[in-house]
Amino acid sequence: MNILKAFLLKGTSALLFAMLSACVRFLGDSGVPLGQVVFCRAFFAILPVLLMCAYQKQLAQAFYTQRPFGHLFRGMISIAGMFLNFAALARLPLVDATAISFAAPLITVVLAWLVLGETVRIYRWTAVTVGFAGIVVMLWPYLNFSQYGAGGSASTAATVGAACGMIAAFTNAGAVVQTRRLVDTETTSAIVFYFSTYCALAGLATLPFGWLWPTPFQLLILIASGVIGGLAHIFLTSSYHYAPASLVAPLDYTTMIWAYVLGYVLFGELPTITVYIGAIIVAASGLFVIWRERQLRRRRVRS
């Protein structure tokens, strides 16, 4: 146990994930095709993962697997999630897309009950219900379907972005559930390596549909998105070595703060009041789920 070190690692990963979202948002605004962004995000993330494994003298573990089809299934889910998440970031304010993404932990509770057979009691069901109410509050401005007849292409694009973000939350939750099934036999480095490889191949498959020749600055951001994403996963994984997941998980919500700051500084974006209210509801329900799981774990340890 080293709680301070765990908090620093997890807090750094939250900042890095917000920076990754800002990179994706910039690339979307500058017209870089979605598949090209996905490829660079996944391909350049492999480098820091392999360097970490080499430093720890565990390079072989990044390639070794007992369940190749399990990785393939997780890769397919993650491919859909990455494309949808990046499509949302290209169409929504940074903090809006980030706030919607926090539906994933709530959906994970439902999928864990359905797929893994985990016991979910009334407290967590209540938290999930309240959390989804918060998501509806955030999505409400994008559910004004009268905008389609008003020629408001910007509003239509935002609605599409909100839909992509919500579907991405489901796929991200599915990836978490599949990861829980893999960790029994697979190493973290193998899970991250195969996830990045499959996503890179999916992005590369879009090359015939037209990529652009990036400017030097666009190329820098493309490479940075991959390196930052890879480092974010390394810091995230490392934080769990020094403290229980339930203790450091609340720091995930600091991503919202960084998204707010980066969105305002880089893109001049300010969230609407509905995003503030919805984000508070979702964060509160998510923190309650984390607290409840921690209490149950303590009971099991005592018993």
pLDDT value, residue 102: 84
Asked whether the beta carbons of 38 and 82 are under 8 A apart, the reply is yes
34-55 and 216-239 helices cross at what angle (nearest 10)?
50
Torsion of CA 56, 59, 62, 67, to 10 degrees: -110
Please give the full DSSP string across 70-116, using - where no structure is assigned.
Answer: HHHHHHHHHHHHHHHHHHHHHHS-HHHHHHHHTTHHHHHHHHHHHHS
Summarised one tens digit per residue, pLDDT across range 29-81 is 999 999 999 999 999 998 888 888 888 777 888 888 888 899 999 999 999 99
- All residue ranges of the chain with pLDDT < 50 are 147-151
Amino acid at 17: F
pLDDT value, residue 148: 45
Take residue 162 and report the two structure tokens written for it: 């909100």
pLDDT value, residue 140: 81
Place of tokens 């999505």: 139
pLDDT value, residue 144: 59
CA 198: distance to chain centroid?
17
The residue extents of the domains of the chain are 3-302
Asked whether the beta carbons of 250 and 288 are under 8 A apart, the reply is no
pLDDT value, residue 164: 92
What's the Rg (C-alpha) of the chain?
19
What's the full length of the chain, in residues?
Answer: 303
